[in-house]
Amino acid sequence: MNQAFISAADLGRALARGDITSEALVTATLARIRKYDAQLNAFVEVYDESALGAARESDIRRSRNQSKGLLDGVPFAAKDLFDVEGHATLAGSKATSRAIVARSANAVQRLLDKGMILVGKTHTVEFAYGSWGTNPSSKTPINPRDPLIPRVPGGSSSGSGVAVAAGLVPVALGTDTGGSVRTPAALCGVIGMKTSLGLVGRGGVQPLAFLFDIVGPMTRSVEDAALILASLQGEDQEDPSTFGVPQHDTVNDLEKGVAGLVLRHPAMADLAAAEPGILVQFRRTLDELRAMGALIEEKPLPRPLETYASLTANMTTVEAWGRYRPLVEQENSLVDPEIAKRMSRGATMGVADYLDYLEQRRMMQIEFDGYFTGADAFLLPSSPITAKPLEGIHDTPAPFGIFTRLANLMDLASISIPMGDVENLPTGLQIVVRRFADPLALRVARALEVHRGGLFLAPSNY
């Protein structure tokens, strides 16, 4: 069985039927990582021995009719912001402690408790503070969609996006503060979800800006995203945002389609930052959804997308500077100079500025709730551009947050799904819903996936 681009759900079904063992599956996964990762740079470290041991344990459970569920025995990876027991969390930086952690992050542990097999940790932008996906302090993952020109993967969950897109793993965990799951999902052509704050615990995850940080899955199918989100939910004693939050059924309504749903989108003038080819794909997708029975509405945004993006960036900078200032300011700092420069903007922002940002955010949330009234979901492209050549891009301002930060600022949920290629490079559609309406975002995404006969397109060279 060539399982490289098979979904996690279908791998689970194959394991249940006895078509393959978890040991064979994980052996093939590790071999594929060894074959391709030298050129892709997706992984920080790979856990060959422990992964194979866990796979054998999964096979034993299944032989005794003690399987932990559909995902038991299926491999996954986690961004190197997640603690993994027995390993250091480097956060993509030379400046972090190399201390071994004693306990895995809540999200990692929840997947392990479902019997999933952790095969390694993936590269991230240093401290998750950047959206091109580059990292001179560690390694920059290479977008697998262009066989000729090395291109940016999108960040900060860069390695996770590349690993899923290149068929190294079917599932990877990422984090999203202003688009860090959705941007690499869009640029690499996979599915990435910004979950509702409080739905998935962040215990054991290296923070950037705790006000906005979330944990989200990256997959190649909508069903997989729904299954992983179902597994990740629940209270986390290290994350008060999860206290009292009920679990949501992410699977039951997945096949209900979009007929009768009101899907709103901004005026095309609001999306002026997008490349023409992306807008062509966006209009085509709106037409498809309309033909599928959705009610498509255009409504100009209350404010420019750049306004929401700028406020989110300022608030993130204040938090990042407050957290990482000692590492940036220490003599002979090992923090990458460009990351240090970005963070140092926080030194010019005081408590009064931050309180003003919070008040602006409150007013914008009230205003945007009025804009959202009467609609089930809000649609816009995930990224204004396709993946650009890697050479020389690290120090260039990245435009991705213009389209993604709105969801973080407003405490909304959002999923990015492949929208169609422009000049053989992926683009993403962003489906934004109200907080805790994550199952609805998945439902809309799944409807398009069924209508098109699939969303993910495997890269040619992998």
Catalytic amino acids?
79, 156, 180
Element (H, E) at 233: none
Structure tokens at 27: 């052996």
C-alpha span between 341 and 346 (Å, rounded)? 10
Residue with tokens 């650009």: 388
Using a 10 angstrom Cβ sphere, with 0-12 exposed, 13-18 middle and 19 or more buried, the burial of residue 88 is: middle
Pairing of strands 191-194, 214-219: antiparallel
Structure tokens at 408: 């973080």
Residue with tokens 């394991």: 15
Q: Which amino acid is at 172?
A: A
C-alpha span between 431 and 435 (Å, rounded)? 13
Q: Are 175 and 194 in contact (CB under 8 A)?
A: no
Residue 245: phi and psi, rounded to 5, are -85, 120
**DSSP per position, 394-456:** TTSPP-THHHHHHHHHTT-EEEEEEEEEETTEEEEEEEEE-TT-HHHHHHHHHHHHHHHT-S-
C-alpha span between 386 and 322 (Å, rounded)? 33
Specify which residues 80 forms β-bridges with: none
C-alpha distance across the termini of the chain, in Å: 16
